[in-house]
Amino acid sequence: CPSCMRQAAVGFQCPDCVAERPQKVVNSSQLFRGHSEVVVGKVIIAINVAAWVLMTVLSQNPYGAGGPVLEHGALYGPLVASGEWWRLVSGAFLHAGIFHLGMNMLLLWFLSQELEPALGRLRFAVLYVVSLLGGALGVMVLDPLAPTVGASGAVFGLMGALIVLQLRAKQNPWQSGIGGLVALNLVLTFLIPGISIGGHIGGLVAGAAAGALLQPLRW
């Protein structure tokens, strides 16, 4: 009867059913689920960290700013137009500071745990490359004269793909938290100076499009 029901966040629960339900113990391996299946994500993170270390060593700057790696690798429209096409890719593996690197790699790690086991290594790699190039295209269209670095365009693409895949699976991105995460990052993109609007929007759109086309190995 209603008088003996227990109120919960999503309605009411039967006390007998709650008592009979087995308790689930979550350990660290379950908390960081899928980490043993994440290979491509770890390789991408390793490349970003290695690029940061190389940039720091060659620039002789403890903060990693400047130096020949940044000079020859940052995404910059006029130099891409003159034939330095590798900047479309290399810029996404360089970062302007340790905090910039850390935040991008943290998001990349958590998104990799969700996406790589579901898509498989090859499809996840394709998704990352498409998102990266989409972010680079966004920079070239909206702000080609601003030297740009960072993996955030590709990370935005992963978030866009996760939203689309959840919608395809008839899940609610707002309930899972990814919808709010994307909304918050979009607000910060437009409010904080120095953040690449083109890179974030371009990556988000490209990743969402890839998420609509790629078929997961399992849902």
Q: Is 83 in a helix, a strand, or coil?
A: coil
Average pLDDT of the residues in 132-160: 96
Pairing mode, if any, of strands 11-13 and 6-8? antiparallel
The span from the CA of 64 to the CA of 69, in Å, is 10
The span from the CA of 84 to the CA of 61, in Å, is 25
pLDDT tens-digit readout, 157-193: 999 999 999 999 999 999 989 999 999 999 999 999 8
With both helix axes pointing from N to C terminus, report the angle between 178-191 and 152-168 in degrees, rounded to the nearest 10: 150
Whole-Å CA distances, 184 to 139, 148, 181, 188: 20, 21, 5, 6
pLDDT tens-digit readout, 77-131: 999 999 999 999 999 999 988 999 999 999 999 999 999 999 999 999 999 999 9
Question: Contact 104/150 with Cβ under 8 angstroms?
Answer: yes
Residues tagged active-site: 152, 200
The span from the CA of 214 to the CA of 192, in Å, is 33
